[in-house]
């Protein structure tokens, strides 16, 4: 009996949440200056069903990842905006793209709720903006606004500049990039372990050789995948001066290539890599993995070690990073 009551209460709670989410939707619809995504909005989770919101039908539903393509087809959905690209949802997104659905992804998670740390100045997320300019809309929601149900609704109103359309080429290369990055982290982790463990030089050399072979295999696979999806990328390698077949350097270039968003301005891409004037760096959030690949690519192009650069050399190195981003950005806008 207790179990049955628990299930009934859960169903009631879900119904109440959905009704509150629809109330939030109706309030937001009254704000004319907000943008609106035309299509379904999906809040994904790695271990829970996705939350799907279809505004034109005022429909909110929890859907298992594997059932999402059928659910969207049954509801005649042609466009989808998802909150994030996860390893666990990339297969589903590939299915959607290949079936003709236009799939967009949120490029900045803070576009919904802003930064965790409060700050002064211009609001950095939709909820922050609402709190400042339309507090009445959030009345009754503030303490629970980060619920999955509300996130699916809020996604509809995120600015287009924080959305990026996904292609089958991008998704295919993204998988290869993750495998390459995993091999890189595995190598670094092993080196740290070997420094701490009492192993012989022979064993150390053997283990390093094995992990290096693994890394080279994934780097080569990553480059080949990029080339198969973007056949002209060898011209970009030539523009960067890395067309000599150096697998490691070309893999770093492919990593930076994947992180650059050609649909946004060059300045916005500089910000993603942390390449902004010193006066603007306070509170800057940039992509650490992308930055690491850019630093390594630039260092290998110049034949320097960033750790040992003096002040003037560091400034020149930053400028060279910006040049590297610009070369890849312009190539990607032209050919990708």
| Structure tokens, 176 | 């290869």
Q: Are 191 and 128 found together in one domain?
A: no
Report the pLDDT value the prediction gives residue 121, as an integer from 0 to 100.
Answer: 55
Q: Are 241 and 153 found together in one domain?
A: no
Q: In what order do the strands lie in the sheet with 79-82?
A: 59-63, 50-54, 40-43, 79-82, 102-106, 163-165
Q: How many domains does the chain have?
A: 3
Q: Are 254 and 207 found together in one domain?
A: no
243-277 pLDDT tens trace: 988 999 999 999 999 999 998 999 999 999 999 88
Report the pLDDT value the prediction gives residue 131, as an integer from 0 to 100.
Answer: 87
Q: Are 306 and 319 found together in one domain?
A: yes
119-167 pLDDT tens trace: 555 657 898 888 889 999 988 876 666 677 889 999 999 999 889 999 9
Q: Are 249 and 332 found together in one domain?
A: yes
| Structure tokens, 22 | 């629809």
Residue 211 sits in which domain range? Answer: 167-225
Exposed / middle / buried, residue 304 (Cβ in 10 Å: 0-12, 13-18, 19+): middle
Residue among 150, 160, 146 at smallest CA distance from 113: 146
Handedness of CA 61, 62, 65, 66 (dihedral sign): negative
Asked if residues 68 and 152 have their Cβ atoms less than 8 Å apart, the reply is no
Report the alpha-carbon distance of residue 125 to residue 44 in Å, rounded: 19
pLDDT band at 283 (very low <50, low <70, confident <90, very high): low
Q: Are 131 and 268 found together in one domain?
A: no
| Structure tokens, 42 | 């999906």
28-78 pLDDT tens trace: 999 999 999 999 999 998 778 899 999 999 999 999 988 999 999 999 999
Return the half-sphere exposure (C-beta side, CA atoms, 13 A cut-off) of residue 206.
5
| 12 pLDDT more than 60 | no
pLDDT band at 286 (very low <50, low <70, confident <90, very high): confident
182-232 pLDDT tens trace: 999 999 999 999 999 999 999 999 999 999 999 999 999 999 999 999 999
Domain final residue, candidates 190, 208, 225: 225
Q: Higher confidence at residue 105 or residue 108?
A: 105
Report the pLDDT value the prediction gives residue 9, as an integer from 0 to 100.
Answer: 44
Q: Are 185 and 291 found together in one domain?
A: no
Q: Are 52 and 138 found together in one domain?
A: yes
Report the pLDDT value the prediction gives residue 124, as an integer from 0 to 100.
Answer: 72
Report the pLDDT value the prediction gives residue 117, as an integer from 0 to 100.
Answer: 52
Q: Are 180 and 248 found together in one domain?
A: no
Q: Are 102 and 189 found together in one domain?
A: no
**CA distance between the termini of the chain:** 60
Domain final residue, candidates 116, 135, 165: 165
Residue 314: strand pairing partners: none
| 295 pLDDT more than 80 | yes
Report the pLDDT value the prediction gives residue 148, as an integer from 0 to 100.
Answer: 78
Helix then strand then coil, % of the chain, to nearest 5:
65, 10, 30
| Structure tokens, 296 | 């390594």
Full-model pTM: 0.85
Report the pLDDT value the prediction gives residue 122, as an integer from 0 to 100.
Answer: 65
Region 311-328: mean pLDDT is 95
The three-class DSSP label of residue 61 is strand
Angle, CA 153 vertex, CA 86 and CA 265 arms, to 5° = 60
The three-class DSSP label of residue 79 is strand
Q: Are 55 and 122 found together in one domain?
A: yes
Report the alpha-carbon distance of residue 185 to residue 200 in Å, rounded: 23
Report the alpha-carbon distance of residue 86 to residue 107 in Å, rounded: 12
Q: Are 246 and 310 found together in one domain?
A: yes
Pairing of β 163-165 and β 102-106: antiparallel
Report the pLDDT value the prediction gives residue 4, as an integer from 0 to 100.
Answer: 39
Report the pLDDT value the prediction gives residue 149, as an integer from 0 to 100.
Answer: 84
Domain final residue, candidates 165, 194, 210: 165
């Amino acid at each position: 009996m207790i179990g049955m009551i628990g299930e009934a209460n859960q169903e009631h709670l879900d119904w109440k949440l959905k009704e509150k989410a629809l109330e939030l939707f109706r309030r937001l619809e009254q704000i004319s200056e907000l943008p609106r995504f035309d299509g379904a909005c999906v809040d994904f989770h790695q271990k829970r069903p996705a939350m799907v919101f279809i505004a034109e039908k005022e429909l909110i539903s929890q859907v298992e990842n594997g059932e999402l393509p059928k659910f969207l087809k049954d509801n005649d959905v042609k466009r989808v905006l998802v909150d994030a690209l996860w390893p666990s949802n990339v297969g589903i997104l590939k299915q959607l793209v290949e079936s003709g659905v236009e799939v967009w992804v949120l490029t900045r998670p803070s576009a919904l709720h802003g930064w965790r740390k409060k700050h002064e100045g211009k609001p950095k997320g939709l909820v922050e903006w609402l709190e400042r300019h339309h507090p009445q809309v959030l009345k009754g929601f503030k303490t629970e606004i980060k619920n999955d149900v509300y996130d699916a609704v809020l996604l509809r109103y995120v600015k287009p500049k924080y959305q990026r359309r996904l292609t089958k080429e991008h998704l295919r290369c993204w998988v290869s990039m993750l495998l390459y990055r995993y091999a890189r982290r595995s190598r670094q982790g092993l080196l740290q372990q070997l420094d701490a463990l009492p192993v012989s030089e022979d064993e150390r050399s053997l283990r390093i050789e094995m992990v290096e072979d693994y890394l080279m295999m994934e780097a080569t696979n990553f480059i080949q995948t990029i080339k198969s999806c973007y056949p002209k990328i060898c011209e970009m390698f030539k523009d960067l001066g890395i067309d000599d077949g150096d697998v490691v350097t070309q893999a770093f270039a492919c990593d930076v290539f994947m992180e650059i968003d050609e649909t946004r301005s060059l300045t916005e891409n500089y910000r993603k890599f942390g390449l902004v004037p010193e006066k603007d760096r306070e509170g800057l959030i940039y992509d650490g993995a992308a930055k690491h690949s850019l630093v390594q690519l630039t260092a290998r192009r110049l034949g320097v070690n960033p750790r040992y650069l003096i002040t003037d050399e560091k400034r020149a190195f930053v400028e060279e990073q910006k040049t590297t981003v610009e070369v890849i950005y312009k190539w990607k806008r032209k050919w990708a």
